[in-house]
Each structure stands twice: as C-alpha cells, then as structure tokens.
Amino acid sequence: MHTYSAVIEYDGTDFKGFQQQPGNVRTVQKEICRALNALAPGFTGFSYAGRTDTGVHAKNQVIGFKVKQALDIYRFSWKFNCLLPGDISVKRVQAQSDSFDARKDAKLRRYSYYIVNSSCQSVFLKKYSIMITGKLDVQAMKGAAEKFTGIKDFSAFCNDNFKTGCNIRQVYDCRIKRYPGNIIKIDICANAFLYNMVRIIAGTLIEIGKGKRKAESIEAAFESKNRKDAGRIAPAKGLFLSGVTY
C-alpha cells in the first residue's frame, strides 16, 4: 500500500460538517470519499486533521489515505479536483510514510474567525464572516485573548456533547488583528480543540469587545469550569480551519 496526504479547501456553507454521517446527509468527507472511490477503488486508511462543524470552512484541512498503486500525483490531483463539487478543492497531494495519520500526527492546528466591524458588509464576505455594527474595543479583546494561552481546562469553553472526559488543551497562541476594510481576525492555535471551543472563545472575546463582559470573567470561567460562565457561541460561518502543522 502507498500512503498519501492531501490539503483540502472547502466552503462549509452547504455541508453538515466534515465527518461522514449515516443517511442522505451531505458532508465534506462523503464527497471526498466518493471521488476517491472513483479514482482509487478500495482505498483505505482515511484520516483527517480536524472535524469541522456544520457551516465551518477550511483553507487547509489535511486528509490521509492509502492506495494499492503509486500515484502520478499531477494527474491524480487534476482528476481529483474534476470529480469534486465546486465547494471543495484539492490544493496539494504528496506521498507520506506508511505510518502517517492526519489526525494523530498533527502537532498544531490553527483556526481563524472573521468579523466585519461595520454597518456594511461586502457581499463577498457575507458567507465567510459575521457583521457587528457597534464599534468593538479591539485593544480590550487583545488583552483578553492572552488569557487563553497555556495548558488549561477548557470545560467552560466547550459544549462537551461527546463527554470526552478530558478537557485540558494547550493553546499556544491567541491573537487579534484589525485589517483594512474594518475586518477583525481572531487567530488561535492549539495542540487540539474541543467541540465548539473556538466559537465559544470567539463569542466571549466579542462580548468583551462590546463592553458586555470584563476580561476577568475569563479567569472566573476557567476556575468554575462552568459553560454558563463563558460567552455565547459565535456563528459558524465566520470560522475557518486555517492551518495544520506536522
């Protein structure tokens, strides 16, 4: 068997998340596996770096798979893109070691959340960002973002529907930057993320930016480990899986 990885980009608007689900449910994995089956019948070992939720996008999702025969990567990539729908694109395919696993081997994952802080939102951004008309205090948000870094129990900042039992994660960086056009981006990278973790962190920072919450409330939420002490979950459409490091 020959092992390969692929970097995938997708618009999550019309998908019920990445992971394949039973029944007639449109997911990113389902579309990718349909194309792979046509190109390499009997492929095995499918893996992926991050499970994105309904409506969440990806700029650099990574998948892994095994095939019986070595691939002509250029031809395979071209055919792969031809078979995928218009809201999924293969950016790069490369050979990997036999032991490669897109999830287990990932050392760092980065997510980005986009906000348009204006009374007008470009039509080309409406599917990929949220709009907040009231002026956000970006400096207050930047100061609060630093409180998320480190090895911490993020129980208050997730919806633990999967009951994983361990909500400790290491956040390496959480930063906020304003760009021309009144675009604000929240970047957060960690070894791994809990269910809805990034969107709840984003929602908490937005509330601080609006003046509805104090930065000190973040420390209180870490202490209580109670979901009710963190902010509201931010809408899915502003979130991107922007990078994975191996």
Q: Which residues are catalytic?
A: 53
Residue from 78, 75, 87, 73 nearest 9 by CA: 87
Name, in order, each residue with C-beta under 8 angstroms of 163's C-beta and a sequence gap of 6 or more.
none
Q: Running DSSP on this structure, what letter comes out for residue 136? A: P
Burial class (CB in 10 A: 0-12, 13-18, 19+), 85: middle
Sign of CA dihedral 12, 14, 17, 22: negative
Q: Which residues pair with 176 in a beta bridge?
A: 186
